[in-house]
């Protein structure tokens, strides 16, 4: 009912991408509450991510129409807000993805997009060809089942939950799996005081995604070092210019640029295997995932169209994504569609590590801390800044020689970034 100067407006679930029947896991407001624009109204959770639905405008909640555990779709009514008439027509803001720090509940949740391989929404991607609903996809993720390998018994070949369970039973019954003994459960309290700390949802889901990648991808890691002495000089020379543009130039934007340059020359690294492992799907876009360490776990937002961005733009975008990840402000779009990932531990330390491929991508670059080392120039030792690089790749898609050439090109590019203009 409208009042003078105030209009009672419905707030609906905004566009949530390809998510359907998402669960309401938190209701942040009650009737009578005053909310400012962008305040969280509810939190919904799909099989890919948790998302806050923000208030599209300020007002007072007059009625909440959803309950906890309801399943909702884009366009469904959430609540009514009494709002100032002039702002009542504002379009709903998109939801933001929550890096959920709630402990995992007894009922296991599916891996989120934050820690999951980027969803394959592009035409021709393997997962898009599987005919299954979100609940079935969630179950499959929980159980680490590749849906593409499951025969669907539903109408039109749709995969139903029973198919997934039958697939698991059948797989467990095979001798190879049957011989895989579970990790022994130990009552540690027998040996001293213990404290049990539940993992965050992000970590639980991440564990499932990492395990799935670890089991499916045939991992090999190629290590090398790039002489980034000149790059570092150039970076230092750009510091003021970057600051004037509001950007902080860390090595990461250079790494993204160099990776895109080398990915162009080695397109099999910017690709995914199809479900049957019979074809490699080359991507003609360069969306670079970047691992971000947050207090609730590892999140991998994506720098879209990195090939079309300049250094300062990349610096601003990586800083934005890192901040959004830590402040739980990522949108579903920020987490989708990566074609190659960089995991930089350079600010933390280390001389090298073996990152796990962010499947269905086929390669990931791990970057450790640069160190000044003596390098023989043919007649004398020179102090050079060396950056350790570790490329993990899926040996099903890429041969060792190809990986060797990729890393050699990356080293050459980082060692002489004039090569970027070639």
251 near ligand CAO, rule: CB under 6 A: yes
Q: How far is CA 401 from CA 53, 118, 222, 393, 396, in A?
A: 48, 27, 10, 12, 13
298 near ligand CAO, rule: CB under 6 A: yes
Query: Does 395 participate in catalysis according to the annotation?
Result: yes
Quote the least distance from Cβ 210 to ligand CAO, whole Å: 9
Assess contact for 374 and 223: CB atoms under 8 A: no
Rounded to an integer, what distance in angstroms lies between the CA atom of residue 416 and that of residue 422?
A: 11
22 near ligand CAO, rule: CB under 6 A: no
Residue 242: count other Cβ atoms within 10 Å of its Cβ. Answer: 18
Rounded to an integer, what distance in angstroms lies between the CA atom of residue 163 and that of residue 140?
A: 10
Q: Closest Cα partner for 344 from 394, 388, 287, 306?
A: 388
318 near ligand CAO, rule: CB under 6 A: yes
- Residue 328 corresponds to which tokens in the numbers above? 């739980």
Quote the least distance from Cβ 89 to ligand CAO, whole Å: 38
60 near ligand CAO, rule: CB under 6 A: no
Quote the least distance from Cβ 203 to ligand CAO, whole Å: 12
**How would you classify the pairing of strands 40-45 and 50-54?**
antiparallel
Quote the least distance from Cβ 287 to ligand CAO, whole Å: 16
Question: Of the two residues 337 and 346, which places its CB atom closer to ligand CAO in the complex?
Answer: 346
# binding residues, ligand CAO (CB under 6 A): 20
250 near ligand CAO, rule: CB under 6 A: yes
Stretch (H or E) spanning 216 = helix 201-216
Q: Closest Cα partner for 77 from 104, 112, 42?
A: 42
346 near ligand CAO, rule: CB under 6 A: yes
Burial class from Cβ neighbours inside 10 Å (0-12, 13-18, 19+) for residue 4 reads exposed
415 near ligand CAO, rule: CB under 6 A: no
Task: Select the span of 30-38, 115-123, 247-255, 329-337 touching ligand CAO (CB under 6 A).
Answer: 247-255
303's torsion region: left (phi>0), alpha (psi -120 to 50) or beta?
Answer: beta
Q: How far is CA 196 from CA 71, 185, 187, in A?
A: 32, 14, 12
At residue 233, what are phi and psi to the nearest 5 degrees? -65, -45
355 near ligand CAO, rule: CB under 6 A: yes
Residues 188-217 within binding reach of ligand CAO (CB under 6 A): none
Question: Of the two residues 150 and 356, which places its CB atom closer to ligand CAO in the complex?
Answer: 356
Binding mask 378-407 for ligand CAO (x = CB under 6 A): ---------x--------------------
Q: How far is CA 67 from CA 29, 38, 63, 108, 378, in A?
A: 11, 20, 12, 20, 73
226 near ligand CAO, rule: CB under 6 A: no
Question: Of the two residues 267 and 350, which places its CB atom closer to ligand CAO in the complex?
Answer: 350
Task: Please identify which residue in 37, 70, 274, 293 interacts with ligand CAO, judged by CB under 6 A.
Answer: 293
Give me the catalytic one of 71, 216, 223, 395. Answer: 395
Task: Select the span of 58-66, 116-124, 212-220, 363-371 touching ligand CAO (CB under 6 A).
Answer: 363-371
Question: Of the two residues 292 and 302, which places its CB atom closer to ligand CAO in the complex?
Answer: 292
Quote the least distance from Cβ 345 to ligand CAO, whole Å: 5
Rounded to an integer, what distance in angstroms lies between the CA atom of residue 81 and that of residue 34?
A: 9
CA atoms within 13 A on the CB side of 328: 18
Q: Which residues carry out catalysis?
A: 395
Rule CB under 6 A: which residues touch ligand CAO? 250-252, 290-293, 298, 318, 322, 343-347, 355, 367, 369-370, 387
């Amino acid at each position: 009912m409208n009042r003078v100067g105030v209009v009672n407006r419905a707030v609906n679930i905004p566009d949530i991408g390809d998510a359907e029947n998402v669960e309401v896991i938190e209701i942040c407001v009650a009737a009578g509450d005053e909310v400012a624009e962008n305040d969280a109204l509810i939190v919904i959770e799909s099989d890919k991510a948790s998302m806050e639905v923000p208030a599209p405008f300020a007002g007072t909640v007059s009625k909440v129409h959803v309950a906890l555990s309801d399943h909702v779709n884009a366009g469904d009514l959430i609540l009514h807000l009494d709002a100032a008439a002039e702002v009542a027509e504002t379009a709903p803001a998109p939801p933001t993805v929550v890096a959920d720090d709630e402990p995992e509940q007894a009922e296991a949740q599916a891996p989120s997009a934050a820690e999951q391989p980027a969803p394959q929404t592009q035409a021709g991607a393997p997962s898009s060809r599987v005919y299954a609903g979100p609940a079935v996809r969630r179950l499959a993720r929980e159980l680490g089942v590749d849906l593409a390998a499951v025969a669907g018994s539903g109408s039109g070949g749709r995969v139903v939950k029973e198919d997934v369970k039958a697939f698991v039973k059948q797989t467990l019954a095979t001798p190879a799996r049957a011989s895989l003994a579970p990790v022994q459960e130990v009552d540690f309290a027998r040996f001293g005081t213990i404290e049990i700390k539940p993992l965050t949802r992000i970590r639980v889901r991440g564990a499932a995604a990492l395990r799935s990648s670890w089991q499916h991808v045939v991992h090999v890691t190629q290590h090398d070092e790039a002489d980034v002495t000149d790059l570092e000089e150039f970076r230092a020379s750009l510091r003021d210019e970057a600051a004037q543009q509001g950007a902080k130039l860390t090595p990461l934007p250079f790494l993204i640029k160099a990776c895109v340059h080398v990915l162009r020359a080695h397109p099999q690294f910017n690709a995914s295997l199809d479900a049957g492992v019979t074809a490699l799907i080359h991507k003609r876009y360069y969306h670079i995932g970047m691992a971000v360490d947050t207090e609730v776990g590892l999140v991998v937002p994506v720098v879209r169209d990195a090939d079309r961005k300049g250094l300062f733009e990349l610096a601003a975008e990586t800083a934005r994504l890192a901040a959004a990840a830590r402040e739980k402000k990522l949108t579903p779009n920020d987490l989708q569609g990566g074609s190659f990932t960089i995991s930089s531990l350079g600010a933390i330390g280390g001389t090298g590590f073996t990152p796990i491929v962010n499947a269905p991508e086929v390669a990931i670059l791990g970057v450790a801390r640069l160190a000044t080392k003596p390098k023989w120039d043919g007649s004398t030792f020179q102090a050079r800044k060396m950056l350790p690089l570790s490329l993990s790749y899926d040996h099903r898609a890429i041969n060792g020689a190809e990986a060797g050439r990729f890393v050699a090109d990356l080293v050459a590019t980082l060692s002489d970034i004039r090569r970027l203009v070639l």
